[in-house]
């Protein structure tokens, strides 16, 4: 690769790593804000957050992203002051940290795409400096001298570690030096085991390695440890070979069994390895798309081969046809496995999305003075990464609505006899070939009267017209609808539920609202597990061919003309004691050439979530694997079509978006 | 991590250690001519690494650079006191790094 190409790739890697760092940082900040309220924060957490900012700043500086580096530098300053005990952790500090992290995310995103709004960081920098300028807490008296720590330990302690030592001493903990001899081959896992045990009962302040007495395959560690336990309580917990414990501050050396073996020669075992401990690979999603495309083409090739085999059999070449069919079946099986394998790589748990929401919920509820508790269910339900990315904004909007309009203020809730803390529940589960994401709140629900009033104001509902409560909810999805006149920063900026629905429809999904006046709202989003290659039912209607994703097809029936009844000007039939509305595709798409309605015809029953619809079609042409391709921007707003597919015999057909067809039909659009 | 992307010196092989522990593991295995380390690391800190290296007869003479942020001033001094040869403050000029490398490795 040329130097330039190298650099381009390196920048992409940096942006990917920066995003990862910021994601983890946000998660940790949430934990930090929790313990800010509670009192004591785990020093590991503060340290980890500090290191993240430090890495990000370094990386950004290296690649010339000066804005990111500079803001990262300020963030790092504040975090450093925190971990060294120079600044106390309070809500002002937490806010500043959150703000800085969010701005950094925006900057990183902007760096990845060209353009993006310029970001003003002066405000948050000011707030950070304010936090830093506040009086440092406590006195700097050093009780360390009493401890008489050996020089070699003191010399290799960083300022941070000294601070931690001081903290431990202030808290009245005993300070121990734990020396252990380990093998080079296994020291990291053994040391980790030991420190994990120690962390249960105290704080590991520092770890000093030194060469083992003479032998190359060994390494010694001196661990500085603070704990409230007495020596006799501590010893049995960490007892192992080649380990001795000394307490600082008293000169008594504790009897440890096998202490005389401390300097015994260690057997040489195993080999030293430099292999990385990580077992994951970071993959650019563009590469996965390419892979999926290739698999799609393979699927088409397979279809063609099957076609040829069928033709050969028709033409009398029975023996070779047989072999070809057998080979094609084997190929189909392997392709199916390959397809599954590639799809699994793209799947990530919904939990990632939930964590993002968690941060936003805390921020907004704090800003609005509302108390919100978040419950999560089904965080390990998996979804295609691209779907999760595209669903992130809509879900965020829904969550914001829930806090903004749904959950009441603590006072109001108390007055209503509700718990002061509102609850938002995010849950996700798999339902057949779909994944459902639900947002529940126990707030005030949607004020249907107000919705109707607004609808009348906007001219969506006639003065004399009445509409049921369930139908009224539909107005919320119309463009331009919003029951607050103030475009607040929270739910405003022109993003309405109509955009949310369009985004979800673009993913072949559906959104549903359930309203419990006074008790809350539930928003249900149903999504296909993945797009790309799907099995479809091929049908013809009014002389044209369409594909129906199998996941939405429930059954197909042969219906007599006489079975059709008319209810409220719509055609229906009775299916196993329930009424099934019918839709003639020819009418839906306003196609001509429907011809005389035959005596009996096929009805394909489709459904998503609880909704059902019977599609009247001319003929059922079989099942096939198809690859859905987008039909482009021009036709993006087309109701009822989610894409186009290649049938393998050079025919291109349209794929029905069952969700929107059902939606339109039940609204009385047809 | 970051150093390998800017180092245009193809004469040298760069071995990255993602943490202090990895460095401890790598040292006996690779023929190391120069060590560049950060101060803040998750397991052992840079000072402890320097102490280990300088107290070990096998690695005592290997040139060692520390990289740090400005706010780590006191730590930097300790690092030099422990035997580091040079220090670099982040964000550092890659040119400077190149000069230092040439100075110690010829």
CATH number of the domain to which A559 belongs? 2.40.50.180
Structure-model confidence comparison of residues A265 and A375, the more confident one: A375
Structure-model confidence comparison of residues A614 and A648, the more confident one: A614
Binned at pLDDT 50, 70 and 90, residue A525 comes out as: very high
The whole-number average pLDDT for the span A630-652 is 66
| Rg (alpha carbons) of chain B, rounded to whole number | 13
Q: Which residues of A touch B22 (CB under 8 A)?
A: 274, 276
In chain A, the residue whose alpha carbon lies closest to the alpha carbon of B75 is A158
Structure-model confidence comparison of residues A145 and A559, the more confident one: A559
Residue A274 maps to a domain = no
pLDDT of residue A425: 92
What percent of chain B clears pLDDT 70, i.e. is strictly above it? 85
Residues A478 and A460 in one domain: yes
Q: How far apart are the C-alpha atoms of A75 and A361, rounded to whole Å?
A: 22
Q: How far apart are the C-alpha atoms of A657 and A661, rounded to whole Å?
A: 6
Residue in the structure block whose two tokens are 């087309």: A638
Residue among A449, A665, A481 at smallest CA distance from A570: A665
The number of residues making up chain A comes to 670
pLDDT of residue A522: 92
Residues A243 and A105 in one domain: no
Name the residue among B2, B18, B74 with its Cβ closest to that of A58: B2
pLDDT of residue A158: 82
Q: Which residues of B touch A61 (CB under 8 A)?
A: 90-91
Residues A332 and A360 in one domain: no
Name the residue among B21, B29, B51 with its Cβ closest to that of A156: B51
Q: Which residues of B touch A10 (CB under 8 A)?
A: 5
Beta sheet of A218-227, edge-to-edge order: A202-211, A218-227, A174-183, A243-248
Q: Which residues of B touch A152 (CB under 8 A)?
A: 51
Structure-model confidence comparison of residues A578 and A479, the more confident one: A578
CATH number of the domain to which A129 belongs? 1.20.120.160
Mean pLDDT is lowest, of A59-73, A519-533, A563-577, B7-21, for B7-21
Top mean-pLDDT range of A87-91, A511-515, A647-651, B57-61: A511-515
Residues A521 and A561 in one domain: no
Residues A7 and A45 in one domain: yes
Residue where one domain finishes, among candidates A320, A347, A374: A347
CATH number of the domain to which A251 belongs? 3.30.70.1110
| Structural domain range at position A193 | 143-261
In angstroms, the separation between the Cα of residue A29 and the nearest Cα of chain B is 18
| Helix, strand or coil, per DSSP, at residue A148 | coil
pLDDT of residue A524: 92
What are the DSSP E strand ranges found in A69-212?
174-183, 202-211
Residue A279 maps to a domain = no
CATH number of the domain to which B62 belongs? 3.40.50.2300
> Using the beta-carbon criterion (under 8 Å), do B91 and A62 form an inter-chain contact?
yes
DSSP strand pairing (A544-549 vs A652-656): parallel
Residues A117 and A190 in one domain: no
pLDDT of residue A478: 77
Quick check: A206 pLDDT over 80? yes
Residue among A197, A202, A279 at smallest CA distance from A240: A197
pLDDT of residue A439: 93
> Using the beta-carbon criterion (under 8 Å), do A54 and B40 form an inter-chain contact?
yes
Top mean-pLDDT range of A359-373, A513-527, A608-622, B65-79: A513-527
Quick check: B1 pLDDT over 60? no
Residue among A61, A42, A94, A647 at smallest CA distance from A366: A94
Asked if A6 and A56 touch (Cβ cutoff 8 Å), the reply is no
Residue where one domain finishes, among candidates A462, A497, A528: A528
Q: What digits encode the pLDDT tens for the residues B84-105?
A: 888 888 777 777 888 888 888 7
The chain-wide mean pLDDT, for chain A, equals: 78
In angstroms, the separation between the Cα of residue A251 and the nearest Cα of chain B is 25
Domains contained in chain B, number: 1
- State ipTM: 0.79
The chain-wide mean pLDDT, for chain B, equals: 77
Residue A138 maps to a domain = no
Residues A440 and A537 in one domain: no
Mean pLDDT is lowest, of A57-71, A326-340, A587-601, A632-646, for A632-646
Binned at pLDDT 50, 70 and 90, residue A266 comes out as: very low
In angstroms, the separation between the Cα of residue A236 and the nearest Cα of chain B is 25
In angstroms, the separation between the Cα of residue B9 and the nearest Cα of chain A is 13
In chain B, the residue whose alpha carbon lies closest to the alpha carbon of A159 is B75
The whole-number average pLDDT for the span A348-354 is 84
The whole-number average pLDDT for the span A158-175 is 84
Residue A268 maps to a domain = no
pLDDT of residue B71: 59
Quick check: A523 pLDDT over 90? yes
Binned at pLDDT 50, 70 and 90, residue B25 comes out as: confident
pLDDT of residue A300: 77
Residue A271 maps to a domain = no
Q: How far apart are the C-alpha atoms of A469 and A61, rounded to whole Å?
A: 57
pLDDT of residue A649: 62
Any B CB within 8 A of A276 CB: yes
pLDDT of residue A666: 67
Q: What digits encode the pLDDT tens for the residues A11-53?
A: 777 888 888 888 888 888 888 887 776 666 777 788 888 888 8
> Using the beta-carbon criterion (under 8 Å), do A158 and B75 form an inter-chain contact?
yes
Top mean-pLDDT range of A111-120, A224-233, A289-298: A224-233
Binned at pLDDT 50, 70 and 90, residue A648 comes out as: low
Which of B35, B51, B76, B79 best probes binding to A when mutated, by most A CB atoms within 10 angstroms? B51
Which of B3, B18, B68, B71 best probes binding to A when mutated, by most A CB atoms within 10 angstroms? B71
> Using the beta-carbon criterion (under 8 Å), do A59 and B2 form an inter-chain contact?
yes
Residues A87 and A189 in one domain: no
In angstroms, the separation between the Cα of residue A36 and the nearest Cα of chain B is 23
Quick check: A135 pLDDT over 70? no
Quick check: A491 pLDDT over 70? no
| Rg (alpha carbons) of chain A, rounded to whole number | 33
Residues A551 and A519 in one domain: no
pLDDT of residue A621: 84
Which of B32, B48, B74 best probes binding to A when mutated, by most A CB atoms within 10 angstroms? B48
Beta sheet of A611-617, edge-to-edge order: A553-560, A600-608, A611-617, A578-584, A570-575, A565-567
What are the DSSP E strand ranges found in B40-101?
64-68, 86-89
Which of A82, A156, A217, A280 best probes binding to B when mutated, by most B CB atoms within 10 angstroms? A156
Q: What digits encode the pLDDT tens for the residues A80-128?
A: 888 777 787 887 888 888 889 988 988 888 887 766 677 788 888 888 8
Residues A16 and A127 in one domain: yes
Any A CB within 8 A of B24 CB: yes
Number of A–B residue contacts, CB under 8 Å: 105
Two tokens at A553?
């097809």
Any B CB within 8 A of A196 CB: no
Name the residue among B5, B71, B91 with its Cβ closest to that of A80: B71
Q: Which residues of B touch A86 (CB under 8 A)?
A: none
pLDDT of residue A255: 37
φ, ψ (nearest 5 deg) of residue A630: -70, 145
Residue A587 maps to a domain = yes
In angstroms, the separation between the Cα of residue A117 and the nearest Cα of chain B is 26
The whole-number average pLDDT for the span A434-447 is 88
Top mean-pLDDT range of A95-104, A301-310, A641-650: A95-104
Residues A513 and A382 in one domain: yes
Q: Which residues of B touch A272 (CB under 8 A)?
A: 25, 28-29
What percent of chain A clears pLDDT 70, i.e. is strictly above it? 82
Q: Which residues of A touch B81 (CB under 8 A)?
A: 155
Domains contained in chain A, number: 5
Quick check: A293 pLDDT over 80? no
> Using the beta-carbon criterion (under 8 Å), do B28 and A184 form an inter-chain contact?
yes
Residue A354 maps to a domain = yes
Q: Which residues of B touch A69 (CB under 8 A)?
A: 91
In angstroms, the separation between the Cα of residue A77 and the nearest Cα of chain B is 8
Q: Which residues of A touch B82 (CB under 8 A)?
A: 155-156
* Chain A (197-226) residues lying within 8 Å, Cβ to Cβ, of chain B: 206-211, 216, 219
Residue among A68, A65, A73, A134 at smallest CA distance from A106: A68
Which of B1, B2, B29 best probes binding to A when mutated, by most A CB atoms within 10 angstroms? B2
| Structural domain range at position B49 | 3-105
Residue A115 has a CB neighbour count (10 Å cut-off) of: 6
The gap from C-alpha A165 to its chain's centroid, in whole angstroms, comes to 38
Structure-model confidence comparison of residues A495 and A550, the more confident one: A550
Binned at pLDDT 50, 70 and 90, residue A416 comes out as: confident
Residues A203 and A64 in one domain: no
Residue A187 maps to a domain = yes
Residue where one domain finishes, among candidates A261, A296, A315: A261
């Amino acid at each position: 690769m040329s130097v330039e190409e190298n650099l381009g790739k390196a920048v992409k890697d940096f942006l990917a790593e920066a995003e990862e760092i910021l994601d983890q940082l946000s998660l940790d900040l949430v934990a930090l804000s929790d313990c800010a309220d509670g009192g004591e924060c785990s020093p590991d957490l503060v340290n980890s957050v500090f290191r993240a900012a430090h890495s990000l700043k370094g990386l950004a500086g290296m690649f010339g992203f000066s804005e990111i580096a500079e803001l990262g530098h300020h963030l790092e300053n504040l975090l450093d002051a925190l971990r060294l005990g120079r600044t106390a952790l309070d809500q002002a500090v937490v806010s500043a940290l959150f703000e800085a992290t969010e701005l950094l995310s925006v900057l990183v995103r902007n760096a990845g795409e060209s353009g993006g709004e310029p970001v003003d960081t002066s405000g948050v920098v000011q707030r950070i400096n304010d936090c830093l300028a506040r009086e440092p807490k406590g006195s700097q008296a050093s009780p360390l001298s009493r401890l008489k720590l050996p020089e070699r330990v003191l010399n290799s302690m960083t300022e941070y570690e000294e601070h931690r030592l001081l903290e431990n001493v202030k808290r009245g903990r005993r300070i121990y030096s734990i020396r252990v001899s380990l093998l080079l081959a296994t020291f990291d896992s053994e040391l980790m085991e030991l420190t994990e045990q120690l962390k249960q009962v105290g704080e590991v302040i520092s770890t000093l390695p030194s060469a083992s007495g003479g032998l190359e395959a060994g390494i010694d560690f001196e661990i500085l440890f603070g704990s409230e336990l007495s020596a006799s309580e501590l010893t049995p917990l960490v007892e192992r070979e080649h380990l001795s414990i000394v307490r600082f501050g008293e000169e008594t050396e504790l009897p440890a069994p096998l202490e005389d073996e401390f300097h015994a020669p260690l057997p040489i075992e195993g080999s030293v390895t430099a292999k990385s401990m990580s077992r994951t690979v970071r993959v650019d999603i563009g590469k996965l798309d390419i892979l999926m495309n290739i698999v799609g083409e393979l699927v088409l090739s397979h279809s063609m081969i099957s076609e040829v085999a069928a033709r050969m059999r028709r033409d009398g070449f029975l023996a070779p046809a047989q072999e070809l069919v057998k080979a094609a079946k084997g190929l189909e099986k392997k392709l199916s496995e390959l397809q599954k394998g590639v799809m699994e790589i793209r799947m990530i748990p919904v939990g990632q999305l939930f964590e993002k929401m968690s941060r936003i919920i805390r921020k907004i509820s704090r800003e609005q003075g509302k108390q919100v508790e978040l419950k999560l269910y089904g965080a390990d339900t998996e979804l295609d990464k691209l779907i999760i990315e595209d669903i992130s904004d809509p879900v965020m909007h829904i969550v914001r609505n829930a806090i903004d309009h749904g959950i009441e203020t603590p006072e109001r809730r108390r007055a209503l006899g509700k718990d002061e803390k509102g609850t938002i529940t995010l849950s996700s589960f798999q339902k057949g070939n779909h994944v459902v994401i639900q947002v529940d709140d126990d707030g005030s629900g949607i004020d249907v009267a107000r919705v109707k009033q607004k609808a009348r104001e906007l001219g969506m509902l006639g003065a004399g017209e009445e509409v049921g409560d369930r139908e009224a909810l539909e107005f919320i999805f119309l463009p331009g609808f919003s029951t607050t006149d103030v475009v607040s920063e929270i739910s405003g900026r022109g993003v309405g539920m109509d955009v949310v629905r369009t985004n979800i429809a673009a993913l072949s999904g559906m959104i549903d609202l359930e309203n419990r006046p006074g008790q809350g709202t539930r928003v249900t989003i149903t999504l296909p597990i993945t797009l790309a290659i799907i099995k479809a039912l091929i049908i013809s209607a009014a002389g044209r061919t369409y594909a129906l994703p199998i996941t939405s097809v429930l059954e197909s029936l042969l219906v007599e003309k006489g079975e059709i009844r008319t209810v409220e000007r719509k055609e229906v039939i009775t299916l196993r004691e329930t009424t099934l509305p019918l839709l003639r595709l020819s009418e839906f798409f306003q196609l001509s050439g429907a011809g005389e309605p035959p005596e009996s015809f096929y009805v394909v029953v489709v459904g998503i979530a609880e909704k059902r619809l019977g599609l009247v079609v001319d003929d059922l042409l079989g099942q096939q694997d198809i690859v859905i391709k987008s039909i482009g921007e021009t036709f993006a707003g087309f109701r009822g079509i989610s894409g186009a597919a290649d049938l393998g015999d050079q025919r291109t057909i349209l794929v029905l978006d069952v969700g929107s067809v059902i939606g339109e039909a039940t609204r009385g659009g047809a | 991590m970051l150093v390998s992307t800017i180092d245009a010196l193809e004469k040298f092989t760069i071995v990255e250690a993602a943490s202090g522990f990895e460095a401890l593991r790598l040292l006996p295995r690779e023929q190391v001519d120069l060590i560049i380390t950060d101060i803040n690391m998750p397991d052992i800190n840079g000072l402890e690494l320097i102490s280990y290296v300088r107290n070990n007869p096998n690695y005592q003479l290997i040139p060692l650079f520390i990289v740090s942020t400005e706010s780590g001033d006191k730590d930097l001094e300790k690092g030099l006191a422990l035997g580091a040869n040079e220090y670099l403050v982040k964000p550092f000029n890659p040119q400077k790094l190149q000069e230092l490398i040439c100075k110690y490795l010829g």
